[in-house]
Amino acid sequence: MTKPTKEQIRKIIGKNIRRERLLRDISIEAFATMMGLTPGFIGLIERGQRGTTSSCIYQISKLFDISTDVLFENHEYDENELPEIYKEKALHEKISNLTLDFNQKELAYAANMLFTLRGLRELQTIEDSEDSNE
């Protein structure tokens, strides 16, 4: 097994930072603000054209609540087809953040609303399926 070059490591880290940012539906501008960097510099890092420091990698891992190891993993993915589990995780995180200040009654109402919406979506899927079979 050959040792990856610095350029390859930069590209792996950049790709993983971008994936984690997109999973959380964070714009490059918002992410740059959170990191105290410019959007242009974040873009260079995500494309693997610039490296980043170990303290920056640590800060990113804390911001995204992931292990630093995740940023060094070399795996292929298509940004347009992120695994469903990641989409669900990102959605769960959004809902959790939205409901942080809710009391029990508000949480129950929100949960009921989500179940209703999910049921309507499943009903629409069934109707679409029946229409295509005709």
* CA 30 to mean position of chain CA atoms: 13
Would you state the structure tokens that stand for residue 57, as one six-digit string? 């990698």
pLDDT more than 70, % of the chain: 68
Q: What is the pLDDT of residue 107?
A: 74
On whether the 6-81 domain is CATH 3.40.1160.10, my answer is no
Angle at 11 between CA 5 and CA 13, to 5 degrees: 105
pLDDT tier at 101, thresholds 50, 70, 90: confident
